[in-house]
Structure 1
Amino acid sequence: MKRPNGIKNFRNLFWQLDDLDYYYKHSDQQYNSIVIAVTCCGKQSIVSQTIVMIKSMLIFSKQNIHLIIYTDVNHRQLLNELLALPQNKLDQISFEIKTAKFPNVSDQHYYRNFYLKCATQRLFYPVLLPNIDSVIHVDSDVIFMSPVEQLWKHFEYMTGEQMFAMAVDNMNPNTSWYLKIAHNDSLRIPNPTVYSFNTGIILMNLTQMRNTNFFGEMDPIFKQYKNRIHWIVNDFMTIYLAKYPNRYMNLSCIWNYLTDHCDAGQLCTDADQYGVAVLHGSRSTFVKPSLWAPHAAAFRRSEPKRFQFGY
């Protein structure tokens, strides 16, 4: 196998040309890694968001991290961006860059393209990652402002029945989607909470998901509620956990801080005491200053061309 142009540290890189997937592991890295999964699909600008998220994570973390990136964009661009990290940070991570896949469902096109491209990929992790016990799914449009190992520690707080941990979605009673549809017979879906969840950050116990046949229940739920689903993964998890309310744990909103948490005063009161741990630029607020200038400013300061590690 020939060395690809521009790729460093090739002795640590296993390049699987068959399906365009890449795997990288530093030879000295230990195996007790935090596992993070992210989807990077659609526009090329998503690559920049993904790299910013990863760099922000590495700034605060002191533990080894295994990254699993599902994508339908430029695999090589992602690879080169990651291999351009400073060596001390590259030594801290292992990663896989994998082609987005949607197996064992009735309508792959629907799952791949509804709402945002590859948004449902996280629901396939129990099938796609059969040897992984637990993973944190992270949307590409987040910036870490605290160590990811503090978030990973929440797995220890989950009971034996709990498979997921998520933070609350929009808590503004004037704009909450889930409050709005609660009074609309044509849109209403089952909901275990008042404001439901935001699935941009999800702690997922994949072993528990496999043991309870989570994946087997997914396609029937989508078929039953297809005409009522708008925010695809948020809505699915809302419906699923209304049926199994013992299977999730609430995360503090500091771990998934949305513009909705502060657009009508401080609705995430934990943030006043503990600060924001993860900033989420949902609905393009990182890249559209007209929507929410503070989020956009935070992202601009973190763009790859400006984002440099200190030594």
Structure 2
Amino acid sequence: MRVYLRTFSLCIVIGLLSLVYLFSKHDAESFSPVLKQVRAPLEPSVAKNLNRVKSKQLPTATTPHTPRDVAHKVNSAGQREMMQLAVVACGDRHGEAVNMLKTAAMLSSRALRFHIFAEEQLHTSIKTALDSWPAFIRAKFSYVIHPISFPHEKHEEWSQLFKPCASQRLFLPMILKEVDSLLYVDTDVLFLQPVELIWDMLTHFNSTQLVAMAPEHEEPRIAWYSRFSRHPYYGKTGINSGAMLMNLTRMRMIQFKNGMTSVGLHWDELLMPLLQKYKLNITWGDQDLINIIFHYNPEMVFTFPCHWNYHPDHCIYGSNCILAEEEGVLMLHGNRGVFHSNKQPAFKAVYDAFKHYIFGEDLIKSFLLPLEEALNRTTHTYCGKVSHFFARGLGMSARKIQRMLPAGG
């Protein structure tokens, strides 16, 4: 009798477990279309509506942020989080900013969100330029144009610290409170390969790293910081703030060691005391302050390879970026105005090629081949001798994109 009761009880348990499994499977299947809909890339109509949103209208997070070791996680639908790209454009820099954004939208295949910080009088021209791009390009990104914003205390001093508005990037963690991770680049940067190659570096951050930047120079003998600096700086040659990949969540939460107090200070508590202490000793403004911060916190920095922020000093003193020779250039940084002068015509040739390319034209015939011809005419110059580094990765990206373009585009 006991055997029968045990058998009967076992059958009931198995039956109940089977019912639970079937119901749970049904519920999961019923929710999956909803998840896919929420995580789907923005439709052009949605992106268009987002374009009208100003920064003051952006919703703030209602749940506390927590640090993430993988800053761009893959969701249940297999899609990655949107890449967030920021730029600051003041004075006559809005044309450069639009050209930089053009390279990002042109070469990347993942969804992008542009955060453009600009003076009020520049908003209309930037919006007009971005909205004029064809639908198949606009479908790749959404954007917000933010006003320039500095703390009320020392507002004028912050705004004119180095170049107009340049120090705005120091305050991005406090302004973009809803953003977890961000790639900031100067206006005089061009992407020569897809943004996702740089963005994915977030997955390589260890538990203490919160920002990735490139060394200011590869060699101490040509490094400004190691020769003339009157303040602490990161490493042997300093770091260049023209491109910064940041985990903003960590930057907001972590307390930073410093040379002023025995206790750590949060990012927003640190900036004003640093300015007061070093303002007579800094030459490059906000970049100097960033170097001071990470001099005391070197474990927080992940250094970019040199070909991810390639600038004229990598070629005018001889070729001193080996990875550019092996893998091509990912980001071309035209500092010191070389995109607009004849000092280094190879840099100007790349800038002009992007500027004059019309979306929808054949990328090979109308962009890549004319660029290669222009670069060949610069081989008598220092950087022209290595300009094939510029075209290597760019050529592969352009050919891949051309194969993916819609018919007739």
> What is the TM-score when the length of structure 2 is the normalising length?
0.66
Answer yes or no: is 1:273 the counterpart of 2:326.
yes
What is the deviation of 1:195? 1.0
Taking a change above 3 Å as real, the CA distance of residues 267 and 309 of structure 1, as seen in their structure-2 partners, is farther
What's the offset of the Cα at 1:101? 0.4
Letter in 1 for 2:294: L
Q: Does 1:32 align with 2:98?
A: no
Aligned to 2:197: 150
Among 192, 215, 225, which residue is 2:278 paired with? 225
Alignment CA distance shift 1:11-1:68 (3 Å): closer
Give the aligned partner of residue 130 of structure 2. 82
- The structure-2 alpha-carbon separation of the partners of 1:97 and 1:47, relative to structure 1 and needing over 3 Å to count, comes to same
Q: Which amino acid aligns with 1:42?
A: G
Which of 321, 325, 345 matches 1:293?
A: 345
User: Does the CA contact (< 8 Å) of 1:123 and 1:215 recur in 2?
Assistant: no
Partners of 1:257 and 1:220 lie apart in 2 by 32
Over the matched positions of the two proteins, sequence identity in percent amounts to 28
SS at 1:103's partner residue? coil
Question: What is the deviation of 1:94?
Answer: 0.8
Whole-Å separation in 1 of the counterparts to 2:217 and 2:360: 33
| Residue-by-residue CA offset, 1:217-262 (whole Å, 9 max, x unaligned) | 1111111111111111221111101111111111101111010111
- Residue 61, structure 1, aligned to residue 112, structure 2: no
Rounded to whole Å, the distance in 2 between the matches of 1:192 and 1:201 is 15
Question: What is the CA-CA distance between 1:171 and the residue it aligns to?
Answer: 3.3
Which runs of 5 or more structure 1 residues have no equivalent in the other structure?
1-7, 23-29, 182-186
Corresponding residue number in structure 2 for 1:190:
232
| Aligned residue type for 2:91 | G
Amino acid at match of 1:188: R
Task: Tell me, yes or no, if structure 1 residue 308 matches structure 2 residue 359.
Answer: yes
- Structure 2, unpaired ranges of 5+: 1-43, 59-78, 255-265, 362-408
Is residue 253–residue 270 contact of structure 1 (8 Å, CA) maintained in 2? Answer: yes
**Cα distance, 1:12 vs. partner?**
2.9
Structure number with bigger Rg = 2
Contact preservation (8 Å) 2:188, 2:334: yes
RMSD between superposed Cα atoms in Å: 2.3
CA offset at residue 174 of structure 1?
4.7
2:173 corresponding residue in structure 1: 126
1:31 CA displacement: 8.4
The answer to whether the 8 Å contact 1:38/1:139 transfers is yes
> Which structure features the higher share of helix residues?
2
Task: Tell me the SS of whatever aligns to 2:114.
Answer: strand
How far, CA to CA, are the matches of 1:18 and 1:199 in structure 2? 24
Task: Return the match for 1:13 from 42, 49, 61.
Answer: 49
Query: Which amino acid in the other structure matches residue 308 of structure 1?
Result: F
Q: The residue matched to 2:316 in structure 1 has which SS?
A: coil
Residue number among 249, 258, 271 corresponding to 1:207 in the alignment:
249
Q: Alpha carbons of 1:10 and 1:61: their partners in 2 closer, same or farther (altered >3 Å)?
A: closer
**For residue 32 of structure 2, what is the aligned residue in structure 1?**
none
Structure 1 residues 102-139: Cα deviation after superposition (integer angstroms, max 9, x where no partner): 126x3111111122111111110111011111100011
Determine the structure 1 residue equivalent to 2:62: none
The CA deviation at 1:54 is 1.1
Q: Letter of the aligned partner of 1:205 in structure 2? A: N
Pairs within 5 Å for 1:231-270 = 231-270=284-323
Amino acid at match of 1:264: Y
* Distance change >3 Å, CA 18–CA 178, structure 1 → 2: closer
Contact 1:171–1:260 under 8 Å retained in 2:
no
CA distance in 1, matches of 2:277, 2:47: 50
Read off the aligned partner of 2:269 and give its amino acid letter. G
Runs of 4+ in structure 1 deviating by more than 4 angstroms, as ranges, are 8-11, 16-19
Cα distance in 1 between the residues matched to 2:168 and 2:236: 26
Residues 301 and 307 in structure 1, CA contact (< 8 A), matched pair in contact too: no
Q: Deviations over 1:265-296 (max 9, x none)?
A: 1111110111100101112111122x322112
Following superposition, the deviation at residue 173 of structure 1 comes to: 4.4
> Aligned residue for 1:26?
none
What amino acid is aligned across from residue 275 of structure 2 in structure 1?
Answer: F
Tell me how far 1:11 sits from its aligned partner. Answer: 8.9
Aligned residue pair count: 287
Contact 1:254-1:271 within 8 A present in 2 as well = yes
Contact map agreement 1:190 1:238 (CA 8 A) in 2: yes
Specify the alignment match of 2:215 in structure 1: 168
Contact 1:59 1:309 survives alignment (8 Å): no
Segment drifting more, 61-70 vs 260-269: 260-269
Rounded to whole Å, the distance in 2 between the matches of 1:11 and 1:296 is 32
Choose the corresponding residue for 1:116, options 160, 163, 167.
Answer: 163
Where 1:126 maps in the other structure, the secondary structure is: helix
1:99 has 2:147 as partner: yes
